[in-house]
Amino acid sequence: MKYLVATEKSVDKAVEDFKLAIARQKFGVLHIHDLHATLNSKGIDFEPRVQVLEVCNPQQAARVLAEDMDMNMALPCRVSVYEKDGKTWIGMLNPSDMLGMLSDSEVLREVAEEVEAAIKAAIDESA
């Protein structure tokens, strides 16, 4: 269900490297949620660095939405880069598992597998 890779890089360096790697896979980064900064700005003392990147390949998203508009709730894909146990981790929930729980569409399964392979390649490259 999860794909996780540890790296010796800092969170910031791993995020920057992932942004370059995911662009090579023809995905864009739509937004980055800095959970560390957000929680601290709300008065919560939260130390680990956590950045959640929303990524999307427009062609794949269009295929998903054309097959089942309700799947908009599963878009975009999210990749997390965070500190845990003295390491930086880069990970995601596997799109094939997630969409498989929501639909039995063969088209969606195919798209999810393609998206998953591309994001895993970017994670591996950026680690």
Per residue in 25-42, pLDDT (tens digit) is 999 999 999 999 999 999
- Which secondary-structure segment (H or E) carries 102? helix 95-102
Number of domains in the chain: 1
Residues 6+ apart with CB under 8 A from 112: 95, 96, 98, 99, 100
CATH, residue 110 = 3.30.310.70
Range of the domain at 11: 2-126
pLDDT in tens, 76-85: 999 999 999 9
Percent of the chain surpassing pLDDT 90? 98
pTM of the complete model: 0.95
Please answer whether residues 46 and 35 qualify as being in contact, where contact means their C-beta atoms are separated by less than 8 angstroms. Answer: yes
Given a contact cutoff of 8 angstroms between Cβ atoms, the answer to whether 76 and 61 are in contact is: yes
Residue 126, CB-side half-sphere exposure with 13 Å CA sphere? 31
